[in-house]
A and B are shown apart, each in its own frame.
Chain A
Amino acid sequence: KQEVTQIPAALSVPEGENLVLNCSFTDSAIYNLQWFRQDPGKGLTSLLLIQSSQREQTSGRLNASLDKSSGRSTLYIAASQPGDSATYLCAVRGGAGGTSYGKLTFGQGTILTVHP
């Protein structure tokens, strides 16, 4: 069964700092990995999707990397702003031959606070 772990559970940084959120998964047989943002009591907004054949994806100040063989992904946020404060969730879609084929498995999330 796929397990997804996100470290740290919470992070507080001053505005302007660059930061890295980590995601690890136990079964490397995945189709893709998706990073989401969730504001308190709200829905999930997709930030980046990395296919299993890709190494990274970029969108604005966000960069996500994927090392499938080691079961790791990182989300890099450059020049953080107070508006980036939210919970960031990592989710992996199980691939063929894996323990969670087709299923989207979520991590517990990292609560990010960016203070002015």
Chain B
Amino acid sequence: EAQVTQNPRYLITVTGKKLTVTCSQNMNHEYMSWYRQDPGLGLRQIYYSMNVEVTDKGDVPEGYKVSRKEKRNFPLILESPSPNQTSLYFCASRLTGTYEQYFGPGTRLTVT
């Protein structure tokens, strides 16, 4: 089944403790991205990647890192999480071009 998977789905952590949210897709998509969704602010793009070893900042990249060493994986790294990073995170992927975007199921992160 074609899909985007994320792990973990739920995470509660403390300020400053490094964490990684994994994202993987099995559709051979070149383009992958991370979004966060917050009440009243909608979905905002954090980082995106056009292909392996090619990443760029989205609208709200501060406090996040990404890497794209393999085509199928695009992990999101929070080196020192803070409470304002409490949010619902989505990974997405698509083929390069005017193709539809596929989203993962989301990761609900709480930073205390």
With A32-B98, A46-B102, A104-B101 already in contact, the answer to whether A41 and B108 are too (CB < 8 A) is yes
Closest to A45 in B: B103
Residue numbers in A under 8 Å from B98 (CB-CB): 31-32, 51-52, 93
Instruction: Give the size category of A's interface with B.
Output: 20 to 34
- Chain A residues contacting B61 (CB-CB under 8 Å) are none
Residue among A44, A107, A108 making CB contact with B103, cutoff 8 Å? A44
Contacting residue for B42 out of A43, A52, A107, CB 8 A: A107
With contacts A41-B106, A41-B108, A43-B90 taken as known, whether A103 is within 8 angstroms of B45 at the C-beta atoms is yes
Q: Give Cα A103 to B60, complex, Å.
A: 13
In the complex, A36 Cα to B90 Cα: how many Å?
14
A64 within 8 A of B: no
Chain B: CB-nearest residue to A103: B45
Contacting A at CB under 8 A, from B76-98, are 88, 90, 92, 98
A42 within 8 A of B: yes
Residue of A with least CB distance to B33: A104
**Can you report 18 residue pairs joining A to B where beta carbons are below 8 Å apart?**
A34-B100, A36-B103, A42-B105, A43-B90, A43-B104, A43-B106, A44-B103, A46-B100, A46-B101, A51-B98, A91-B101, A103-B45, A104-B45, A104-B101, A106-B43, A108-B40, A108-B42, A109-B42
Does A49 reach chain B (CB closer than 8 Å)? yes
- The digit string for B32-47, where 1 denotes a CB below 8 A from any CB of A, is 0100000010110100
What 1/0 mask marks residues of chain A from 68 to 106 whose CB sits below 8 Å from any chain B CB? Answer: 000000000000000000000101010000000001101
A34 engages B43 (CB within 8 Å): no
State A22–B108 Cα separation when bound (angstroms).
29
Contacts of A31 in B (CB 8 A): 98
